Structure 1
Amino acid sequence: MNALTRKALRDLWHMRTQALAIAWVIAGGVATLVMSQSTLESLDSTRAQFYQEGALADLWAPLKRAPDTLLPQLEAVPGVQAAQPRLLAAATLDVPGFGEPARSEVVSLPIRGGQPLLNRVHLTSGRLPDPDAEGEIVLGEAFAQSHRLRPGDSLHMILRGHARTVRIVGIGTSPEYVYQSPPGAVFPDFLRYAVLWMNRHAMEKALNMDGAFDNLAFRLLPGARQAAVAADVDALLARYGGVGAYGRHEQTSVRYLEEEMRQLRTMATLFPAIFLGVAAFLMHVVLMRLLGTQRDQVGVLKAFGYGNRTLAGHYLGMAAWIALGGALLGIALGAGLGRWLAHVYQEIYRFPFLTYRLSTRAVELGLGVSLAAASGGALMALRAAATLPPAEAMRAPAPTRFGPTLLERLGFQRWLSPAARIALRDLERRPGRALFTVVGLAMACAVMMVGRFQGDSVERMVDVQLSIAQTHDIEVSFVEPAPRRAVFELAALPGVREAEPLRSVPVRLVHGLRSYRTSIEGVPVGARLRRPIDARLRPVQPQGDGVLLTDYLQKMLDLKPGDRVEVQALEGHRRLREVPVAGFVHEYIGARGYMDLDALNRLLGDGDVVSGALLGVTPGAEPDVYARLDRRPWVAGVASRLASVRSFYATMGESLLVFTLVAALLGAVINFGVVYNAARISLSERGRELASLRVLGMTRGEVGALLLGQLGLLVAVSLPFGLAAGWLLCWLMALGFQSELFRVPVQLTTATYAFAALTVLGASAVSALLVYRRIARLDLVAVLKTRE
Structure 2
Amino acid sequence: MVSPLDHKLLRDLWRIKGQAIAIGAVIAVGVMMLVMMTGLTASLTQTRDAYYERYRPADVFASVSRAPERLGSRLAAIPGVASVQTRVEGRALIDLPGQVLPVQAQAMSLPDRGRPALNDVYLTNGRMPAAGRPDEILLLQSFAAAHDLRPGDSLRATMNGARRSFDIVGLAQSPEFLYITAPGELIPDDARFGVIWMSRAGLSAAYDMSGAFNEALIGLSRGASEPAVMAAIDRVLTPYGGTGAYPLAHQTSNRFVSEEIAGLEAAATGVPPIFLMVAAFLLYIVISRIVQAERGQIGLMKAFGYTNTEVGAHYFKLVMAIAVGGALAGCLAGIATGRAMVGLYTTYYKFPFLVFQLDPASFVIGVAVSILSASVGGLLVLRQVFALTPADAMRTPSPPDFSRTGRMGRAIGSVLDQPSRMVMRRITRQPVRMAGAMIGIASGMALSVSMITIYAGFDQTIDLTFSVVDRSDVTVSFTHPVSDKTLFELARLPGVQRVEPVRNAAVVLRNGVNSYRGALTGLPENPTLNRALDDRMQPIALPQGGVVLSRVLADMLDIQPGDTLGVDVREGRQPLLDLPVSGIAESLLGAPAYMGLDALNAALREPGRVSGAYLMIDEAQGGAIYAALQDMPTVAGVSLKSQARDAFVTLMNTGAGAIRYVMGALAFVITFGIVYNAARIALAERARDLASLRVIGFSKGETAFVLLGELAVVTLVALPVGALMGYYMSFGIAAGFSTDLYQIPAIFDPVSYGQATLVVLTAAVVSGWLVKRDLDRTDLIQALKTRE
TM (normalized to structure 2)?
0.95
Q: Say whether residues 1:104 and 2:105 are aligned partners.
A: yes
Q: Distance in 2 between matches of 1:758 and 1:533?
A: 35
Deviation at 1:292, TM superposition (A): 1.7
Q: Is the 8 A contact 1:161 1:633 kept in 2?
A: yes
Q: Is the 8 A contact 1:287 1:378 kept in 2?
A: yes
Deviation at 1:661, TM superposition (A): 4.4
Q: 1:86 corresponds to which residue?
A: 87
Q: Distance in 1 between matches of 2:191 and 2:200?
A: 26
* Residues 1:374 and 1:512: Cα distance change in structure 2 (over 3 Å): closer
Deviation at 1:514, TM superposition (A): 4.0
Q: Distance in 2 between matches of 1:740 and 1:201?
A: 38
Bigger mean CA deviation after superposition, 754-763 or 512-521: 512-521
* Residues 1:748 and 1:57: Cα distance change in structure 2 (over 3 Å): farther
Q: Distance in 1 between matches of 2:550 and 2:675?
A: 47
Q: 2:198 corresponds to which residue?
A: 198
* Residues 1:625 and 1:174: Cα distance change in structure 2 (over 3 Å): same
Q: 1:351 corresponds to which residue?
A: 351
Alignment deviations for residues 511-548 of structure 1 (CA, whole Å, 9 cap, x no partner): 44544332212212442222212111111122233222
Alignment deviations for residues 413-469 of structure 1 (CA, whole Å, 9 cap, x no partner): 334333233223223343333233223222323333444444433332232232222
Alignment deviations for residues 546-603 of structure 1 (CA, whole Å, 9 cap, x no partner): 2222233434444444443333321111122333333332222333322222221111
Q: 1:464 corresponds to which residue?
A: 464
Q: Distance in 2 between matches of 1:231 and 1:416?
A: 82
Q: 2:228 corresponds to which residue?
A: 228
Q: Distance in 2 between matches of 1:130 and 1:448?
A: 59
Q: Which runs of 5+ in 2 are unaligned?
A: none
Q: 1:70 corresponds to which residue?
A: 71
Query: What percentage of residue pairs aligned between the two structures are identical?
Result: 40
Q: Distance in 2 between matches of 1:499 and 1:270?
A: 47
Structure-to-structure mapping, 1:290-329, within 5 angstroms: 290-329=290-329
Q: Is the 8 A contact 1:276 1:373 kept in 2?
A: yes
* Residues 1:46 and 1:448: Cα distance change in structure 2 (over 3 Å): farther
Deviation at 1:739, TM superposition (A): 5.5
| 1:620 counterpart SS class | helix
Deviation at 1:170, TM superposition (A): 1.8
Q: Distance in 2 between matches of 1:164 and 1:455?
A: 46
Q: Distance in 2 between matches of 1:768 and 1:524?
A: 62
Q: 2:401 corresponds to which residue?
A: 401
Deviation at 1:690, TM superposition (A): 1.0
* Residues 1:178 and 1:251: Cα distance change in structure 2 (over 3 Å): same
Q: 2:503 corresponds to which residue?
A: 503
Q: Say whether residues 1:760 and 2:760 are aligned partners.
A: yes
Q: Distance in 2 between matches of 1:568 and 1:381?
A: 63
Bigger mean CA deviation after superposition, 739-748 or 153-162: 739-748
Bigger mean CA deviation after superposition, 228-237 or 84-93: 84-93
Structure-to-structure mapping, 1:170-319, within 5 angstroms: 170-319=170-319
Q: Say whether residues 1:610 and 2:616 are aligned partners.
A: no
2:97 partner letter:
P
Bigger mean CA deviation after superposition, 660-669 or 717-726: 660-669
Q: Say whether residues 1:751 and 2:751 are aligned partners.
A: yes
Bigger mean CA deviation after superposition, 757-766 or 60-69: 757-766
Q: Say whether residues 1:372 and 2:380 are aligned partners.
A: no
Q: 1:34 corresponds to which residue?
A: 35
Bigger mean CA deviation after superposition, 56-65 or 435-444: 435-444
Q: 2:413 corresponds to which residue?
A: 413
| 1:611 counterpart SS class | strand
Q: Distance in 2 between matches of 1:711 and 1:372?
A: 30
Q: Is the 8 A contact 1:191 1:647 kept in 2?
A: no
Deviation at 1:302, TM superposition (A): 2.0
Q: 2:162 corresponds to which residue?
A: 162
Deviation at 1:726, TM superposition (A): 2.5
Q: Distance in 1 between matches of 2:282 and 2:234?
A: 62
Deviation at 1:682, TM superposition (A): 1.5
Bigger mean CA deviation after superposition, 433-442 or 405-414: 405-414
Q: Distance in 2 between matches of 1:762 and 1:631?
A: 60
Q: Distance in 2 between matches of 1:154 and 1:33?
A: 48
Deviation at 1:478, TM superposition (A): 1.3
Q: 1:339 corresponds to which residue?
A: 339
Q: Distance in 2 between matches of 1:95 and 1:441?
A: 57
Q: Distance in 1 between matches of 2:146 and 2:453?
A: 29
TM (normalized to structure 1)?
0.95
Deviation at 1:736, TM superposition (A): 4.2
Q: Say whether residues 1:424 and 2:424 are aligned partners.
A: yes
Alignment deviations for residues 479-528 of structure 1 (CA, whole Å, 9 cap, x no partner): 12211111111111111112122211112333445443322122124422
Bigger mean CA deviation after superposition, 423-432 or 733-742: 733-742
Q: 2:147 corresponds to which residue?
A: 147
Q: 1:135 corresponds to which residue?
A: 135
Q: 2:625 corresponds to which residue?
A: 625
Q: Distance in 2 between matches of 1:452 and 1:197?
A: 45
Deviation at 1:741, TM superposition (A): 4.7
Structure-to-structure mapping, 1:551-590, within 5 angstroms: 551-590=551-590
Bigger mean CA deviation after superposition, 57-66 or 500-509: 500-509
* Residues 1:406 and 1:232: Cα distance change in structure 2 (over 3 Å): farther
1:103 partner letter:
Q
Q: 2:50 corresponds to which residue?
A: 49
Q: Say whether residues 1:772 and 2:772 are aligned partners.
A: yes
Deviation at 1:766, TM superposition (A): 1.4
CA RMSD after TM alignment: 2.1
* Residues 1:192 and 1:220: Cα distance change in structure 2 (over 3 Å): same
2:566 partner letter:
E
Q: Say whether residues 1:594 and 2:591 are aligned partners.
A: no
Q: 1:693 corresponds to which residue?
A: 693
Structure-to-structure mapping, 1:110-125, within 5 angstroms: 110-112=111-113, 114-125=114-125
Q: Is the 8 A contact 1:274 1:443 kept in 2?
A: no
Bigger mean CA deviation after superposition, 312-321 or 575-584: 575-584
1:326 partner letter:
G
